[in-house]
Amino acid sequence: MSRLQGKTIIITGASSGLGMEIAKQSAAEGASVVLLARRLDRLKEIKEELTRTFSTDVFIYSIDISRKEEVECVFDEILKTVASVDVLVNNAGFGVFNEAHEAKWEEIESMFQVNVLGLIACTQMILPHMKTRRSGHIINIASQAGKMATPKSSVYAATKHAVLGYTNSLRMEMARDGVQVTAVNPGPIATEFFTTADPSGSYEKNVARWMLKPEKVASEVVKAMNTNKREVNLPKWMNAGSVLYTLFPRVVERLGRKAFFKK
């Protein structure tokens, strides 16, 4: 029997890409899944597919996690509907790649509202439940950009640095309550993310050979569920670059500057 059999997993940003793949693989392991996203029509399609394919419960909620009142309302409803929540995957997020002087203020605000404040709002709604039960798992989808910033992604990188800071602090706090906290730091993933981040398609074309498959990343996330995994870093060679950057930032910035500008 799978260790996820009978568990309940909430996934934000579940209407496409990585979130959708995490939902599929969790359901395949016998977990009940609670899928959150703005696109209710897409969530309905995914629910129909999952309930047809797997014998498990699927709950869907339309939500804009940048709106705290919506987060509070939806999570209150979830906690009334399901007996317990075992895993929260904070996957919702987006980026826009621009040089710092070109970044539009509304996009800056929106990235912080979704990537940081929305993640914190969802987490805060579930923490009392997990603390009371003295079990649970928070998985925050961050990014290699949160470890090593590059040109043309200053704001996006700043949001992911914030996610890692929050995650690392939360992990130490929640250890007292038996709740696991994991950061997932993927490199570029072949999803709809780049439709918004890079409408020109140039970055996606330049890094196509290194693009991660969402199925692979989802598999690593699902493997980490209900374990004490501190971080999931993909691909390993890119994470090695992040480690080198921590140790030798000036050297990496000088040698890698030309490659970094390829987005």
Supply the residues annotated as catalytic.
156
Terminal C-alpha separation, the chain: 44
